[in-house]
Structure 1
């Protein structure tokens, strides 16, 4: 059984033994079982990559929240001011992601960010087309989207 499976199994045992069937208790069980597994299986190679992912996940979440804050502020400013700064356009992003799950996650992260919308993936899955509300500097926008893709790719490895 993989490390995440063990973590979930121990967390479910925690919920059952404590008798409190709530999301907060499940999260507490996940954290507690994570710490127990980190201590017990610290020398086992099958758990090494699992425990290395947690800092990457937190880093990715903080990075994406910061991107959301910036995008929301830009759209809100444009809505609240009388001048419209929009320069809409479609940008083609060459994909380094190969699997469907990674491409779907990447496209959904782009779509939930205000001011951008993933439109389509080419039939050979090498290009993602994205509509941008603010396409001021295409090379800068492409670099930002590729940075997000690199983080998604790093997270899924």
Structure 2
């Protein structure tokens, strides 16, 4: 059984022990299960699950923060009498290599207001993006690479 499967099983066991079937109780069980897995990890053998679980735990709130900030920026621009948008089509070199990682990066960029993933090159090394606010294209690409792409690499790519 994988560490993730064991964590889900421990969360379900927690629900059975407490007798309360709620999402909050499942999350508590999953967190307790995660702690148990971290403690017994030497007996289970090598696994990347604890590090990946933490990376996913960081990815979600960081993306939600980016989503909130970019939504406010787009709404503010729409409500202004004059637009401050500088739309551009940019090419971002990709560091992420796995299919899952590329898919997640492109979707998170498209979900963020003001940016849209247009295409991935045939060699899967370049992502074409339309950005609503691209007055400084290099800074925008650097921000996407150090933000969304870095978080996805931490959560999805193999650790070396």
- Give the TM-score normalised by structure 2: 0.84
- Tell me the equivalent position of 2:149: 149
Deviations 1:95-133 (A, max 9, x none): 122221111100111011110011121222221111101
Distance between the aligned counterparts of 1:47 and 1:139, measured in 2? 40
Mark the runs of 5 or more structure 1 residues left unpaired by the alignment: none
Distance between the aligned counterparts of 1:6 and 1:37, measured in 2? 8
- Tell me the equivalent position of 1:31: 31
- SS across alignment from 1:43: helix
Deviations 1:68-88 (A, max 9, x none): 232122112101110101111
- Tell me the equivalent position of 2:138: 139
Greater alpha carbon shift after TM alignment, 30-39 vs 108-117: 30-39
Distance between the aligned counterparts of 1:120 and 1:69, measured in 2? 25
Mark the runs of 5 or more structure 2 residues left unpaired by the alignment: none
Greater alpha carbon shift after TM alignment, 26-35 vs 134-143: 26-35
The alpha-carbon deviation at position 154 of structure 1 amounts to 1.9
Distance between the aligned counterparts of 1:99 and 1:25, measured in 2? 34
- Tell me the equivalent position of 1:127: 126
- Tell me the equivalent position of 1:13: 13
The alpha-carbon deviation at position 143 of structure 1 amounts to 0.6
Distance between the aligned counterparts of 2:32 and 2:130, measured in 1? 43
